[in-house]
Amino acid sequence: MSRITLTDLSRSYGPVEVLKHIDLDIRDGELIVFVGPSGCGKSTLLRQIAGLDRPTSGKIEIDGRDVTRVPAADRGLAMVFQSYALYPHMSVRQNLAFGLENARMAKDEIEKRIQEAARMLEISAYLDRRPGQLSGGQRQRVAIGRAIVRNPTAFLLDEPLSNLDAELRISTRAELAALHKRLGTTMVYVTHDQIEAMTLAHRIVVLRAGRIEQVGTPLELYNKPANRFVAGFIGAPRMNFLPASMFPGSAAAEIGIRPQHLRRATPGETGLKTTVVMIEALGSETVIHAENGGQRVLAVLPGQQQLSPGDEIALAYDAKDLHPFDKDGLRLP
């Protein structure tokens, strides 16, 4: 079991309140992702759970046990950092064994755990190499392996892919998802990359300025964002936010519509009249930057569009794809 419960958790550094009254129930076995812009408090929140920092107020429970004042080493959690934090003078095998040896585990049990983790992460061939002889992706797998051998209650991962190049991030992301499926252990994952969050998470926690804005599955956040901030943060390219006056009959202050939900109007179909400003031809799709009365409109159209800057096009939409917001940025029914 590895259920983690946070109750009214706050953390201040002097007059600066970094976390503000966080209530969150992390379910046993789920992969939950903390996401938000830089400085929103996501890494600070992870450090509270890990025990690397203590809250100013509130409570942290693991499987019903209050661990708020329990040292990090006694919480049964394993943390993976973005910097890998491997010992450069040790081999991969020694890096994996280090924590277990300090815990005075039997040598045969240590070797058994190392071999199992190495097989799972496909690093068996690298056990006698040092970190400096490995690629970034291999080093990240060793860092994850060091966590796996401990058989932790839960894994805490702080931007573990941020040091990898784009192609390697995609493949390592898939490896992490497969690893979680095999282990079935609770994983708490921090990232600033909302695409990473969408592809990995069972649920996403969107944070802003130390507060939780919304918690939900990736598609819940994409389809029903609670407010303008979540709507703008989840989804790429970013949602269009346009005056409600551009949409006849709307009682909202502002309307959001995703670029993927705009299409070229067919003859006789009404739509937003726009002028093309810029075109990004990506082959499988075309990103159109357009303008309507000073309002920028972004549309992602399928295939290769024969358009040029200055062309006038009407962009149609379905009413079900509109996201109405009030003057305070809250979603309307």
Nearest C-alpha neighbor of 152 from the set 124, 113, 118: 113
Q: Which two tokens stand for residue 314?
A: 């009407």
The CATH number of residue 295's host domain is 2.40.50.140
Angle 57-209-61 from CA coordinates, rounded to 5°: 35
pLDDT digits (tens, 9 = 90+) for 191-234: 988 889 999 999 999 999 999 999 999 999 999 999 999 999 99
Total Cβ atoms within 10 A of residue 28: 14
Same domain? 15 vs 149: yes
Specify if 121 maps to a domain.
yes
The verdict on 287 and 312 lying in the same domain is yes
| 288 & 265 share domain | yes
Of the three residues 232, 266, 293, the one that is the final residue of a domain is 232
Overall number of domains in the chain: 2
User: Residue ranges of the chain with pLDDT lower than 50?
Assistant: none
Of 207, 232, 257, the position where a domain reaches its end is 232
Q: Exposed, middle or buried, 232 (CB in 10 Å: 0-12/13-18/19+)? A: middle
Residues 102 and 251 in one domain: no
Q: What is the pLDDT of residue 109?
A: 93
pLDDT at 1: 62
pLDDT at 70: 95
pLDDT of residue 296: 96
Is residue 158 domain-shared with residue 306, that is, in the same domain?
no
Same domain, 157 and 57: yes
* Calpha distance 126→142 (Å, rounded): 9
Tokens at 45, concatenated: 């929140």
109, with CB counted inside 10 A (0-12, 13-18, 19+), is exposed
Query: Reduced to 3 states, what is the DSSP secondary structure of residue 182?
Result: helix
> Beta-carbon neighbour count of residue 292 at 10 Å?
15
Are 96 and 104 spatial neighbours (Cβ–Cβ below 8 Å)?
no
User: Does the residue 57 lie in any domain?
Assistant: yes
CA atoms 84, 87, 92, 95: torsion sign: negative
Asked if residues 135 and 92 have their Cβ atoms less than 8 Å apart, the reply is no
* Complete DSSP assignment for 20-48: EEEEEEEPTT-EEEEE-STTSSHHHHHHH
The domain boundary residue, chosen from 232, 262, 281: 232
**Domain that residue 300 falls in:** 238-325
